[in-house]
Structure 1
């Protein structure tokens, strides 16, 4: 293959992708069969199959058992806004995760004590196996699951205090900054790292995705004088949402 040439399966996938994007193959339309692709593009069965696999991996089409492969609905990505910390009395977990004044939604949560894995221990600057409080959230917008979050807090810090359970007690649901302040721990910094990966099966089941879909993962950690006091993974379906940052300039 010389410079600039594409493998045949990418050339076929590219042409079919253009037809989908341009609306020539609208949502819910059946993708041409493998035999039709082979005849139309003059390629082998193997090339036709690989081209279909590319479109499936990109989330443009989906297979339906016993029916064939169809063009997927392509939603316009909605915005999840994030910003520097702004103290708000009574802010809900939904508002804390999406810093948008118009954000309205519901959430479910469950907390349990567990042992810190090697990765979480490193993020919290504790030893592997140390006890942490793990809280899992499902955030919904108009009933649709839009975001998952799992947070971990070191029980060496919060254990046997009124804020040990993030969503229960007198400060339940008030957010990390307010809860930590109640035990004289002053949060003064937060970091977020954004990455992308294929969604785990359980994540895609909760978010209504299909195998192979990509998710955005926001890895967030709150600090107090350099000490990590909470770390979390926020998971967002990449085909339906984009993450927008508004950061104050000081």
Structure 2
């Protein structure tokens, strides 16, 4: 018995096993272990002034994401899939730029794990997409996916999921079209609509019913701005979208898209 306890204590004292990042970039695929990325020749220590997930300044060992995206072009489309099913849709161009905002893949060292994101929650690791100078390029919170398991090059959202498209007869300057772009940026990472999308995180926003059909307008805006102020439970995960993230005009456009899609169910 004493021998078993000593062995258990030894195992608990060992560093956590290295994680694997899967890159599927069209014609090429690659796996990187956390150890390989921590030792990458371009890895460096970076400071994030206001981390989106931790809500405070953070320090990371990170690799410029662009150096890992060999063969990816500025017109390509990428998707970062997290361990919990969160699927962030990302145009490649901002990820490849050298500045002013720059994308980094922060890598959690198994020997020095990051803090938990909250009580009973894991850390943001093993891999976390963070940005230096994000405000310089209008980077949104949904462009900071954490607990990343894989990054894939895919066709655009419009090509993959035609069920998300608004009526093609709408004028180019119709707010619904802007709302569709905002839906992709802010909602599609967690939600599907008309059964279309890759996320496994939140409910479908049109089937069986669209939220514009069962929420009074003022309460739907309140839900988007501060979900916990409208309804709360311990497992709630939806973030709030402040005016700094989604302006009133942008929220109007997003709601216009949702209301429009209530009439475009399959």
| Global fold match (TM > 0.5) | no
Q: Which has the larger radius of gyration?
A: 1
More strand by share: 1
For normalisation by structure 1, the TM-score amounts to 0.24
| Greater percentage in helix | 2
